[in-house]
């Protein structure tokens, strides 16, 4: 990802709920079968709860039986970073958002084809945009070239 988001600890605390902060910034884990997305079946895009980066598509989601949302491949490999995690006496691969560095979960080598990977994520690390809905403009870049900035086709206040 080209644009990085760097916030102070105080800014993260103001932006996130207490549970989101504990997981995204403190590398915590939500309890299995309690998150909003472990059993979600709608079509759309899963995004980072910290910065709205696109992380996973619903068509890459599968039921791993673990109680956490699981995916076999990311939206784009450049949208995530894989880090060596040796906490708790284990060797694992931690997954973080490439844009803001927020902790998402872990990647394991026991997923389905075609990748054989299981990206096991915390629901609280994610937000979801239904298929057909516009993704949020978190970085305030405006609409893509040639498209109006608003759904009604009118310019935003202050635009010419």
Q: Which of 48, 51, 100, 120 is catalytic?
A: 120
Give CA separation, 22 vs 18, 95, 147, 149, in Å.
Answer: 6, 16, 38, 35
d(CA 156, CA 140): 12
Residue of 64, 50, 55 whose CA lies nearest to 111: 64
d(CA 112, CA 147): 38
120 is catalytic: yes
Q: Mind telling me the catalytic residues? A: 120
């Amino acid at each position: 990802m080209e644009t990085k988001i760097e916030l102070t600890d105080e800014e993260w605390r103001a932006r996130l709920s207490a549970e989101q902060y504990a997981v995204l910034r403190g590398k915590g884990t939500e309890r299995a079968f309690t998150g909003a997305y472990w059993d979600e079946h709608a079509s759309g895009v899963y995004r980072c709860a910290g910065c709205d980066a696109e992380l996973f598509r619903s068509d890459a989601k599968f039921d791993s039986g673990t109680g956490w949302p699981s995916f076999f491949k990311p939206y784009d490999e450049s949208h995530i970073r894989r880090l060596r995690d040796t906490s708790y006496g284990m060797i694992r691969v931690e997954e973080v958002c490439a844009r803001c560095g927020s902790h998402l979960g872990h990647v394991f080598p026991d997923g389905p084809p075609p990748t054989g990977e299981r990206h096991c994520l915390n629901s609280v690390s994610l937000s979801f945009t239904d298929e057909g809905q516009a993704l949020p403009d978190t970085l305030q870049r405006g609409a893509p070239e040639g498209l109006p900035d608003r759904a009604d086709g009118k310019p935003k206040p202050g635009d010419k």
